[in-house]
């Protein structure tokens, strides 16, 4: 099975790739339209629902600056 260090490394790589694919498409759309990615995500999730992607975006930016 996928246990130990190799299983953990595999899981981290796969989850990172799968979680970044939607952000990559959102970035492509925002580059083409000139709007921010959070502003584009707002109609999809609604006003309250757009808070969640905003929080993830802030965490991602904070993690990149550490």
pLDDT digits (tens, 9 = 90+) for 4-14: 888 888 888 88
Give the separation between CA 16 and CA 9, rounded to whole angstroms.
11
pLDDT digits (tens, 9 = 90+) for 23-47: 788 888 888 988 887 777 777 777 7
Quote the tokens at residue 43.
Answer: 């109609």
- How many Cβ atoms sit within 10 Å of the Cβ of residue 45? 13
Exposed, middle or buried by CB within 10 Å (0-12, 13-18, 19+), for 41? buried
Quote the tokens at residue 20.
Answer: 């970044």
């Amino acid at each position: 099975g996928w246990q130990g260090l190799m299983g953990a490394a595999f899981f981290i790589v796969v989850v990172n790739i799968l979680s970044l694919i939607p952000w990559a498409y959102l970035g492509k759309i925002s580059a083409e339209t000139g709007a921010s990615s959070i502003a584009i995500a707002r109609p999809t999730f609604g006003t309250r629902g757009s808070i969640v992607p905003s929080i993830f975006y802030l965490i991602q930016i904070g993690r990149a600056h550490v």
